[in-house]
Chains A and B, each alone.
Chain A
């Protein structure tokens, strides 16, 4: 199998995997970045959200062969120094309960704020609607995004 080079969190990673392997499993099982979570495998829940060139994407729906030179950012990259305003807002609002969906929620929220620094409640609701939280932290997610937006004013 030819090796594929991925650019993950500013580091190149050469991986030997079948080209039709979804990025999610390459991150988790091959590269060892388990912060990106498996939730549904159908792009329905958002637990595996990563950034591809800054855009929020579902890693379970991206074939590793389709990525090319695009830059991949995972939760480990975004949160490396815990200084990202979304990370800080998430802690300030004490958002997580079980925490399993939260890396995906945070990646989605960070992408939203990168494109829309001051989202309305409706924009928050629309952008975050693809990310399921079964513990029910939705009210806190809304508050944390509003807080992060206010801090970056």
Chain B
């Protein structure tokens, strides 16, 4: 079936070339309203006050959402922001994905938990703009002053008369009005909200419980073929020889051909494509290939070797100093007591439940792409460049994604799919098997951090230094341009953005503080992974903070509260969430033997604190029984959405804390499916209690904070339960075994 929730660009432009022009001028170029060519008041004329809203005479309201729906609820929350100001009847709202028309839609992507934060104002303004035009249309119709016309639940009502005109009835008259600059329109005060902050059921869920939701892998277009690619298992290796005789004999196989690697800008491995009339035939065909690969020159990489390199790099020179306050060297020298510890976390896979895939149809005049991406405008640009065609010849349908967690911000998958479809010249879906997915991911970096802290004679924390060593994201992720240039790895802005951000720890009052960075080489592709560097820096920092508290015989909660500088806004917010999480978790109350509670906190726009309660079994396995998370994310669009994202982020991170690791041997990833990359399962999932702090500050993201804190909260709880300090993830049960 075709994705029914995506407007094709043709259908979109089918509003009329004039209509499309009106959409543009309606929002971005209000001064050029004269180019609007619609017929005033024509019956059945749709009202498109801007690029995001379309109101038709039948009272249906279509909202075009730019942000991809990866499971975070973006379609619903965007519609809520628009409908709030529009005063729409929620039951008339329909949401579609905005098409790739980059001149109009500039937010066809999401990253860094920024969806709500980056659209909150613009989407409310879009709704308010439509509302004001509808009021004007009604006022003119009735011949009354505008201020007597009020928007109420999908209609304009005339004060004191009981007269009302639905938005649909006003659509054609409103469409004839000149455009209105959105910035001149007053927005509602938070106390007037009737959707924002309320429990609004998600619009995408009905299709997700009856099997009708169309993910990228479900795209079916006439004449579709299915393909898989045999890729070199060794990173940087190349195809030497292929014998496809037997593969071509597999029933259903249409074609077998080599696919060139695209090392720059795409970081694809290349290999051999097998195209067939079903996914299964393609997989069967690939199994029959006889392949020989050339390995890259030099000693093949192994995780054991990488760990040795990192053990040295925590002591060597830094390439970048992120923060240097006071004089750490001097303060450590003068301290009465110095503590030192190394923390380490391995590569991690994204393991989205929907494996990578993209469908491409290369036609004579245009290229049509259906992709579960979180970056549609970039996919459009990259494929246009690969194909050597103008941007507007490439149409990208951003389908629902079966999870992403940063993986689908890369455009390697669409590029490969274009390569295959360009040969076939008919629609092809390139599907990755689970094995492909685990072995050719862009992994969360492997990292090691050395922390040192100096305490004075009165037990005050006077100095702190962190050395972060990672396999840098900047060297391989596609956004920074895939470069092996050492300059990139020394560029402070790049490093700050990718390798340590969030590394400047919570606003603790530490007079002498230094945070620096050194890279370690690796052949393994790396990129974003839910919360990126903040998935490992808080593990080190908040665990080490716990070590310091225990070294001083202090309560870890009290110790943190005392270190937070009074009066600093973030420190005050953090103190509040710390107290709230601790209180809800019963902090300080007795627990049975071999159970413990651990605490961690973080500021990342959003302020959050987490308390984990664990039990450690005699065989050393850790059971996380309960997690309390207190969140201050400013004004809340959807309280249940904040809870869902926080629960999900905690569960996601627990895989990396308890069982998940990607390791490399002989230049290839050792894991291949869910039996050897073990993700959290339902029986391991703790009870989670999310406490939301009420706030009217601008909204900030919640997709990642839960993931940042699960590591240190659980590791600190394990220490409380057993006295054993976990300094490497995932937790090794052999260290905790008592039998």
In the complex, 18 of the A-B residue pairs with CB atoms within 8 angstroms, ordered by the A residue number, are: A29-B277, A37-B215, A37-B354, A39-B353, A39-B434, A96-B71, A98-B70, A99-B204, A99-B207, A103-B209, A128-B682, A134-B353, A135-B403, A136-B647, A136-B680, A137-B648, A139-B688, A142-B685
The residue of chain A having its C-beta at the shortest distance from the C-beta of B651 within the complex is A136
CA distance A29 to B682 in the complex (A): 30
A-contacting 9-mer, from B150-158, B234-242, B309-317, B671-679: B671-679
Tell me the smallest distance from the CB of B178 to a CB of chain A, in Å.
42
Tell whether, in the assembled complex, residue B674 and residue A98 are in contact, meaning their CB atoms are under 8 Å apart.
Answer: no
Q: Which residues 13-60 in B have Cβ within 8 Å of A in the complex? A: none
Known: A37-B402, A42-B675. A94 touches B682 (CB 8 A): no
A120–B351 alpha-carbon span in the complex (Å):
30
User: A34–B687 contact, CB under 8 A?
Assistant: no
Q: Which residues of B contact A140 (CB under 8 A)?
A: 644, 647
- The number of chain A residues touching the other chain, given as a range, is 35 or more
The 3 closest A-B pairs by CB, nearest first: A35-B211, A136-B651, A100-B402
Cβ-closest chain A residue relative to B217: A38
List the A residue with the shortest CB-CB distance to B250: A18
B692 vs chain A, min Cβ distance (A)? 16
User: CB-defined interface of A36-48 with B at 8 Å, one 1/0 digit per residue?
Assistant: 1111111011010
Q: Does B302 contact A (CB under 8 A)?
A: no
State A2–B202 Cα separation when bound (angstroms): 45
- Cα–Cα, bound, A100→B355 (Å): 10
Contact yes or no, A18 B1, CB < 8 A: no
B 243-264 to A, binary, CB cutoff 8 A, 1 in contact else 0: 0000000010000000000000
Chain A stretch 15-57: residues in CB contact (< 8 A) with chain B: 17-18, 21-22, 25, 28-30, 32-42, 44-45, 47
Within the complex, the shortest CB–CB distance from A42 to chain B, in Å, comes to 6
B668 within 8 Å of A by Cβ?
A: no
A contact residues around B352 at 8 Å (CB): 98, 100, 134
Q: Cβ of A34 and Cβ of B71 under 8 Å apart?
A: no
Instruction: Report the minimum CB–CB distance from B70 to chain A (whole Å).
Output: 6
| Interface-central residue, B211, B354, B400, B683, by most chain A CB under 10 Å | B211
Residue in B201, B226, B651 with the greatest tally of chain A CB atoms within 10 Å: B651
Extra 15 A-B pairs, beta carbons < 8 Å, given A41-B673, A82-B210, A99-B71: A25-B280, A29-B226, A34-B217, A37-B353, A42-B434, A74-B211, A87-B210, A98-B70, A99-B209, A132-B674, A133-B651, A135-B71, A136-B647, A137-B647, A139-B688
Say yes or no: A34 contacts B251, CB within 8 Å.
no
Verify B278–A30 contact, CB threshold 8 A. yes
Contact A75 B210, beta carbon cutoff 8 Å: yes
Contact A47 B648 (CB under 8 A): no
**Which residues 326-383 of B have a CB within 8 angstroms of A?**
351-355
Q: Please, what's the 1-or-0 string for B389-410, where 1 marks a CB less than 8 Å from any CB in chain A?
A: 0000000000011111100000
* Complex interface: chain B residues within 8 A of A40 (CB): 434, 673-674
Known pairs A22-B280, A38-B217, A134-B353; A96 contacts B208 (CB<8 A): yes
Cα separation A95 to B213 with both chains bound (whole Å): 15
Residues in B with CB closer than 8 Å to A25 are 278-280
Chain A residues with Cβ below 8 Å from B204 are 96, 99
Known contacts A82-B210, A136-B651; decide if A29 and B280 are in contact (CB<8 Å). Answer: yes
**Residues on the B chain within 8 Å of A1, using CB:** 251
Chain B residue numbers with a CB within 8 Å of A18 are 251
Given A42-B434, A87-B209, A134-B352, does the pair A126, B278 have CB atoms closer than 8 Å?
no
**Which residues of B sit under 8 angstroms from A102, Cβ to Cβ?**
208-209
Q: Which of A119-153 contact B (CB under 8 A)?
A: 124-126, 128-142
Question: Is the CB of B649 closer than 8 A to any CB of chain A?
Answer: yes
* A107, closest chain B residue (CB): B211
Give the distance to chain B from A58, nearest Cβ to Cβ, in Å. 12
Nearest B residue to A90 via CB reads B209
* Chain B residues closer than 8 Å to A42, beta-carbon distance: 434, 673-675
Query: CB within 8 A of A99: which of B205, B649, B680, B683?
Result: B205
B163 within 8 A of A: no
A28 B353 Cβ-Cβ under 8 A: no
Interface size bracket, B side: 35 or more
| A72 interface hit (Cβ, 8 Å) | no
How far does the alpha carbon of A100 sit from the alpha carbon of B71 in the complex, in Å?
Answer: 9
Interface string of B631-670 (1 = CB under 8 A from A): 0000000001000100111111000000000000000000
Interfacial chain A residues near B456, Cβ < 8 Å? none
Asked if B72 is at the interface (CB within 8 A of a chain A CB), the reply is: yes
B674 cross-chain contacts in A, Cβ below 8 A: 40, 42, 44-45, 132
| B207 (CB) vs chain A CBs: closest residue | A99
Which of chain B's residues have a CB closer than 8 A to the CB of A38? Answer: 217, 279, 355, 431
Q: Is the interface of A mostly helix, strand, loop or mixed?
A: loop
Give Cα A35–Cα B1 distance, bound, in whole angstroms: 11
Contact between B673 and A44 (Cβ–Cβ < 8 Å)? yes
In the complex, A30 Cα to B425 Cα: how many Å?
22
Q: Is the CB of A75 within 8 A of B434?
A: no
| Distance between A28 CB and nearest chain B CB, rounded to angstroms | 7
Contact of B683 among A33, A37, A129, A137 (CB under 8 A): A129
- A39–B432 Cα distance when bound, in Å, is 10
- Per the bound structure, the CA–CA distance linking A134 and B348 in Å amounts to 13
Central interface residue in A34, A42, A100, by most chain B CB within 10 Å: A100
Answer yes or no: B681 CB below 8 A from chain A CBs: yes
Q: Is the CB of A45 within 8 A of B353?
A: yes
The answer to whether residues A91 and B209 also contact, given A28-B279, A32-B220 and a CB cut-off of 8 A, is: yes
Q: How far is the CA of A128 from the CA of B680 in the complex (A)?
A: 12
B residues less than 8 Å from A125 (CB atoms): 682-683
Cα–Cα, bound, A37→B402 (Å) = 10
Q: Does B166 contact A (CB under 8 A)?
A: no
Please tell me if the beta carbons of A139 and B647 are within 8 angstroms of each other in the complex: yes
Look across to chain A and name the residue whose beta carbon is closest to the beta carbon of B675. Answer: A44
With A91-B209, A126-B683, A141-B682: A34-B1 Cβ-Cβ less than 8 Å = yes
CB contacts (< 8 Å) of A136 on chain B: these are 647-652, 680, 685
A6 interface contact, C-beta 8 A: no
* Contact residue among B201, B206, B226, B402 (Cβ-Cβ distance under 8 Å from A98): B402
Asked if B218 CB lies within 8 Å of chain A CBs, one says yes
Would you call B212 an interface residue if the criterion is a C-beta within 8 Å of the partner chain's C-beta atoms? yes
Residues A75 and B211 in contact, CB atoms below 8 Å apart: yes
CB distance from B81 to the nearest CB of A (A): 19
* Neighbour of A94 across the interface among B205, B650, B679, CB < 8 A: B205
**Any B CB within 8 A of the CB of A113:** no
Contact A76 B401 (CB under 8 A): no
By a CB distance below 8 angstroms, the chain B residues around A76 are 210-212
Q: Which residues of A contact B687 (CB under 8 A)?
A: 139
Assess the B211–A131 pair: CB atoms within 8 A. no
Q: Which residues of B contact A17 (CB under 8 A)?
A: 278
A18 to B683, CA, bound (A): 37
Q: What residues on B are CB-neighbors of A90 within 8 Å?
A: 205, 209
B206 near A82: Cβ-Cβ < 8 Å? yes
Chain A neighbourhood of B679, CB < 8 A:
132, 134
Complex Cα distance A108/B640, Å? 25
Q: Are B211 and A103 in contact (CB under 8 A)?
A: yes
Report whether B201 and A47 are in contact in the complex, using a CB–CB cutoff of 8 Å.
no
Question: Which chain A residues border B118 with CB–CB below 8 Å?
Answer: none
Of the candidates B71, B673, B683, B685, the one whose C-beta lies within 8 Å of that of A97 is B71
Residues of B within 8 A of A4 (CB): none
Distance of A66 Cα from B354 Cα, bound (Å)? 27
- Nearest-Cβ distance from residue A19 to partner chain B, whole angstroms: 11
Q: Could you say which of B215, B218, B280, B682 has the most chain A C-beta atoms within 10 Å of its C-beta?
A: B682
B640 touches A94 (CB 8 A): yes
Q: Which of A21, A33, A34 has the most CB of B within 10 A?
A: A34
A74 to B4, CA, bound (A): 21
Contact A91 B72 (CB under 8 A): no
Q: How far is the CA of A74 from the CA of B211 in the complex (A)?
A: 9
The complex places the Cα of A138 from the Cα of B655 at a distance, in Å, of: 13
Q: Does B584 contact A (CB under 8 A)?
A: no
Query: Is B209 within 8 A of A100, CB to CB?
Result: no
